Amino acid sequence: MRAEAREHAIAARPPLSIGEVLDRQGVLAYVLLFPGLLILTVFIAYPFVTSLWLAVTDQSVSTSGARFIGLENFIGELGSQIFQQTVRNTLVYTAVTVVFKLVLGIALAVLMNQSFRLKNLARAALLLPWIVPTALSAIAWLWLFDATFSVFNWLLVHSGLTTRGINWLGEGGWAMTAIIIANVWRGTPFFAITILAGLQTVDRELLEAASVDGASTWQRFWRITLPLVRPVLLIVLLFSTIWTISDFQLVYVLTRGGPANSTHLLGTLAYDVAVRAGQLSEGAAISLYMFPVLIVCVVALLLYLRRSSTT
């Protein structure tokens, strides 16, 4: 009899409204997660899995089907001198630019942390290289480094420093220098602004106490400021390493990987091989060579973030 009454009560209960359904935490969590998961699946997971599949096949633009060939593409690339040179270029480019961006970023951040007139305007202007679309700023650099019309060369020659201009983009070493300069110019504001945010969290009383105790400016920076902004530095370093190692636009606009492949990075070579030469599977394999380095960076970043959140 009681069971019958309960069944009647359940049957009589009106259906839940959308608001009531969303009030349930379990449902709401999935609803909120859905757009993010959809974007991740469509724009990141699907292309990534596709590139994994492509890399172990012989798919090219000229063929309709694909045959599984295991690690042949990866092994084949190791024998290519262009690929070997590209790996060296990528490592040099990443290492040099990240070090320069770090040093210049810290210097700029310390400078911007001082009080001076038009401080806010200067801080906003600092971000300009980072805000301007890379392809646009790269075209500006292309003109600055142009073989015939370079402003730098005009200055060098007309100031009497050299008798003829530097072959910025036409000689391997100078071309690498040119793309490093452009990358450092573009990436330094990111370091500076992020470190500046970190610097502003440093307690001024600590610095004043150290000053009273007789610590010099350098000692205050080295012993107090730097250890306190270290978490920010690490995160910025890891992000910058990831972005620099997978750089494409800047190099592609400035040199297209030339002269004679001396500035090819893994991203530009993968594009040339996959899209221009039509070897989609080879291109995918080349781009996946970035993956181990990137995964180390990402794991380090995640571990660090987890540790800092638990402490």
Partner 1 sequence: MEAREIATNRLSRRRFLYGAAALAAAACAPAASPSPSASGPVVLKGTKVQLLHWTSFVPDEDKWFKETLVNDWAKPNGVDLTVELVSANEAQPKIVAALQAGGGPDVMLLQWTWSHLYADKLADVSDIAEKVGSDGGGFYDAMKQNAQVQGTWRAVPFGMLGNAIHYRDSLLKDAGATKFPETWSELTKVGADVKAKSKLFLGQAIGHSFGDPPTFVQPFLWSYGGSETDESGKKLAVNSAATKDALVAFKDLFSKAADPQVLSWDDSANNRSYAAKQIWATLNGASIYLTAVKDAPDLAKDTKLALLPSGPKGQFLLAVPFQYAVPKYVKDPGPARELISYIMAPKNYGSFMKAGKGYTLAPYKKGEGDLWPSTDATFDPFRKIGTLTKWYGYPAPPSTAAAESGSKYILVDMFAKVAQGDTPESAMSWAEGELKRVYKL
Burial group, residue 33, by CB count within 10 angstroms (0-12, 13-18, 19+): exposed
The one segment of 16-24, 124-132, 164-172, 211-219 that binds partner 1 by CB under 8 A: 164-172
Question: Is 143 within 8 Å of 149 (Cβ atoms)?
Answer: yes
Nearer to partner 1, 89 or 279 (CB): 279
**φ, ψ dihedrals at 58, nearest 5°:** -110, 30
Task: Enumerate residues 83-142 that contact partner 1 by CB under 8 A.
Answer: none
* Least distance in angstroms from the C-beta of 56 to partner 1: 18
Nearer to partner 1, 105 or 257 (CB): 257
Triad 252, 258, 262: Cα angle to 5°: 115
> Per rule CB under 8 A, is residue 311 in the interface with partner 1?
no
> Per rule CB under 8 A, is residue 278 in the interface with partner 1?
yes
Nearer to partner 1, 165 or 187 (CB): 165
> Per rule CB under 8 A, is residue 258 in the interface with partner 1?
yes
* Least distance in angstroms from the C-beta of 291 to partner 1: 22
Query: Given its phi and psi angles, is residue 260 left (phi above 0), alpha (psi -120 to 50 degrees) or beta?
Result: left
CA count, 13 A, side-chain hemisphere, 290: 26
> Per rule CB under 8 A, is residue 163 in the interface with partner 1?
no
Nearer to partner 1, 181 or 300 (CB): 181
- Residues in a beta bridge with 68: 57
Q: What x/- string results for residues 166 through 205 when contact with partner 1 is judged by CB under 8 A?
A: -xxxxxx--x------------------------------
Question: Which residues contact residue 242 at a Cβ distance below 8 angstroms, ignoring those fewer than 6 apart?
Answer: 294, 297, 298
Q: What x/- string results for residues 59 through 88 when contact with partner 1 is judged by CB under 8 A?
A: --xxxx-----------x--xxxx------
- Which two tokens mark 32? 């909120």
The one segment of 88-96, 128-136, 241-249, 277-285 that binds partner 1 by CB under 8 A: 277-285
Query: What is the DSSP track for 18-44?
Result: HHHHHHSHHHHHHHHHHHHHHHIIIII
**Number of residues this chain uses to bind partner 1 (CB under 8 A):** 35
d(CA 276, CA 281): 13
> Per rule CB under 8 A, is residue 45 in the interface with partner 1?
no
Which residues sit at the interface with partner 1, rule CB under 8 A? 61-64, 76, 79-82, 146-149, 167-172, 175, 255-261, 272-273, 275-280
